[in-house]
Amino acid sequence: MKKNIAVVAGGYSGEYDISIQSANTISNNISAEKYNVYKILIDINHWKDEKSGVEIDKNDFSLTIDGVKINFDLVFIGIHGTPGEDGKLQAYLDMVQVPYTSCNMVVSALSFNKVFCNKVVEGSPDVYVAKSMHLYKHKQYTAQDILAEVELPVFVKPAEGGSSLATFKIKEEAELMNAVQKAFEVDPQVMAEEFIAGRELTMGVYIEQGEIKTLPITEIISSKEFFDYEAKYTPGMTNEVTPANIPAALSDRIDVLSKHLYHKLYCKGIVRFDYIYDEDKDKIYFLEVNTMPGQSENSIVPQQVRAAGLTLAQFYDTIINESL
């Protein structure tokens, strides 16, 4: 009997549309011969099956269509941002005892907060973390308070958020507090992080038959000052080179590091580690771990999957089998 897979997309954040694109790719590449696939769209008001329009019964995360109750064997989470990337959906699924493809609630919540995650990563072998300051909306700050802790230029961004929404690169003190206030409009916690010059490199990591596996590294070369929302999702604004044109020794270091962090952070499913490599100092800086990386056809992880000689259908089948 075919198993029922729910591909969950949407969410409550500004990444809703990107999530829908990811879910489309996932759904289109899951074998219809092996699984019954239902795309479940979530927003602040409704959790419903896209095709039938039937609402999810939140008592057990089931559907009843034409009098037939459908229970799910697995949830393939494709939500970027809340409630899929921050662990809230995982906590609910744990309570109703439905398996899912991604990191658990604790890991997702930790990794979603860039400041807290940095504290755990800091001290791992062969990786550095840029100096930063954690800002809270309920406290009052001046530019001088912040610059006493970090040096310009700095990135100001929500501590919990993705797709570089409300992220600003600040070079002048006069611009700082305006950026902080704009970031506070998105999240009550904000991170002010010192800029590290270097090459932006990223690697997908997953588990197959209990073994941690890595995908080819991508180098992100943006036509803008940094890889912001526009650069990420506007065709032609960014050159993403997969596999990255880097020395084999550096590739090996990032491979070892990514596997170490996947294990240390107790990750599950497909995640993506982002780094900055400072060539002058020969140092690898940790940027973040994305526990719900984009899966649209042109997103980085699908590029890496193809570069590894795999099809997305093969890759998603591995993720599903491991989760089941």
Q: What is the pLDDT of residues 24-45, one digit of tens each?
A: 999 999 999 999 999 999 999 9
Do residue 230 and residue 297 come from a single domain? yes
**Domain limits for position 301:** 109-127+198-323
Do residue 121 and residue 137 come from a single domain? no
Q: Exposed, middle or buried by CB within 10 Å (0-12, 13-18, 19+), for 278?
A: middle
**What's residue 237's pLDDT?**
65
Please list the ranges in the chain whose pLDDT falls under 70: 162-164, 223-237
Q: How many domains does the chain have?
A: 3
**What's residue 298's pLDDT?**
87
Do residue 185 and residue 245 come from a single domain? no
Count CA atoms closer than 13 A to 115's CA, side-chain side.
16
Which of 144, 161, 194 terminates a domain? The answer is 194
Do residue 235 and residue 189 come from a single domain? no
Do residue 123 and residue 153 come from a single domain? no
Question: Strand pairing partners for 69?
Answer: 64
Do residue 89 and residue 223 come from a single domain? no
Does the reported pTM lie above 0.85?
A: yes
Sequence-distant (≥ 6) Cβ neighbours of residue 256 within 8 angstroms: 126
Do residue 146 and residue 114 come from a single domain? no
**What's residue 228's pLDDT?**
46
Q: Exposed, middle or buried by CB within 10 Å (0-12, 13-18, 19+), for 51?
A: exposed
CATH number at residue 179: 3.30.1490.20
**What's residue 262's pLDDT?**
98
CATH number at residue 33: 3.40.50.20
Do residue 118 and residue 146 come from a single domain? no
**What's residue 186's pLDDT?**
86
